[in-house]
Structure 1
Amino acid sequence: MLAAKRTAYEPGHRPKYLVIVDETPESDRALYYAARRCARIGAGVVLAIITVPEAVEDWLGVGALMRAEAEEKAQEVLVRAAARARAVAGVEPECVVRAGQKADEIVALINEDTDIAVLVLAAGTGKEGPGPLVSTLVGKMSGSFPIPIAVIPGRLTDEHIDTLA
């Protein structure tokens, strides 16, 4: 995987922390860390939600309706996440919705926005393991991933994160 040259620290640019948003508790941990860290260092936050398109036949417009509903739900999740980032750290995040396979879309987004300097994920706390995204990106792709990945333990409280961010 060939990474685009990073521009985050060049004149006229600033680094951005990318957070993949969903409705899990661990996603909030990643968002909280990124917002607090970015507020402290003057970086930007990018919140991205990636929908995985389902194979749906477009029979009588049902497929288009289902895609529109998924987009609307994604926007609602992003609005809540952006409000949370503003509330915890006073940062105004960029919001992105993408459709496709998560790992592929994350790498594509990182390559398109060369100011993204860190990907922030949070590990799940269940017995199933850290979660599929952490397992894929940290486990399988970490040696060739284009930027550093910060993995936040899912059980950290706001107070714990405040001391780290």
Structure 2
Amino acid sequence: MSRKRRCYEPGHRPKYLVVIDKTAECDRAVYYASRRAARTGAGVLMLRVIETGDRAPQWLGVAEIMQAEQHEEAGEMVARFAARANGIAGITPERVIREGDPTEEILALIEEDEDIAVLVLAAGDDEEPGPLVTSLSQAAGSFLIPMTIVPGHLSDDELDAMT
């Protein structure tokens, strides 16, 4: 069952959800969401999903070490983008790290957090928009919230003019 959005009710604050990944265009989504959040008084929630689908069975100790390394790397990546958001707009984003399929985890987080108002993604500057944009666009009809797709080629100045 879909949870009602409560982001504009008393005691709540809307959030822009940004998915942090290793793509070059991720910075564009962070920039856009940070500027919009600062302008509208909203917050930013950064999600990093550690994909587990291609994990091969490992000896228990090796698997635990690999998992710890992935979490450490994910935490460092999110921290870098959180610092970037703070530098852009003086905001301190919330941070979430999950394991699983990115699309499923994004949808689950949107379902769980009734203050998420907009999902912000950035498209690659080549002919393909990127796997996450492609995957989530196919599910967009059943989304609980709007999705903003930022063109990956836009400069800071161009994004400033829009936000």
TM-score for the superposition, normalised by structure 2: 0.96
- The CA distance in 2 between the partners of 1:91 and 1:164, in whole Å, is 18
**Alpha-carbon distance, 1:60 to partner:** 5.0
Residues 15 and 58 (structure 1 numbering): CA distance in 2 closer, same or farther, change over 3 Å?
same
Aligned 1:78-93 pairs, distance under 5 A: 78-93=78-93
- The CA distance in 2 between the partners of 1:119 and 1:58, in whole Å, is 35
**Alpha-carbon distance, 1:146 to partner:** 1.4
Alignment root-mean-square deviation, CA: 1.0
Residues 32 and 59 (structure 1 numbering): CA distance in 2 closer, same or farther, change over 3 Å?
same
Contact 1:7-1:114 within 8 A present in 2 as well: yes
Aligned residue number for residue 65 of structure 2: 65
Runs of 4 or more off by more than 4 Å in structure 1?
none
Q: Deviations along 1:71-130, whole A, 9 cap, x unmatched? A: 000001011000000000001100000100011000100111100000000001123x00
Contact 1:56-1:63 within 8 A present in 2 as well: no
The answer for unaligned runs of 5 or more in structure 1 is none
Identity, % of aligned pairs?
52
Q: Secondary structure at the match of 1:12?
A: coil
Q: Deviations along 1:130-162, whole A, 9 cap, x unmatched? A: 001111111x11111111000000000000000
Q: Secondary structure at the match of 1:141?
A: helix
**Alpha-carbon distance, 1:55 to partner:** 2.4
Aligned residue number for residue 77 of structure 2: 77
Aligned 1:90-101 pairs, distance under 5 A: 90-101=90-101
- The CA distance in 2 between the partners of 1:28 and 1:9, in whole Å, is 27
> Is 1:116 the counterpart of 2:140 in the alignment?
no
TM-score for the superposition, normalised by structure 1: 0.95
- The CA distance in 2 between the partners of 1:84 and 1:90, in whole Å, is 9
The answer for unaligned runs of 5 or more in structure 2 is none
- The CA distance in 2 between the partners of 1:87 and 1:55, in whole Å, is 35
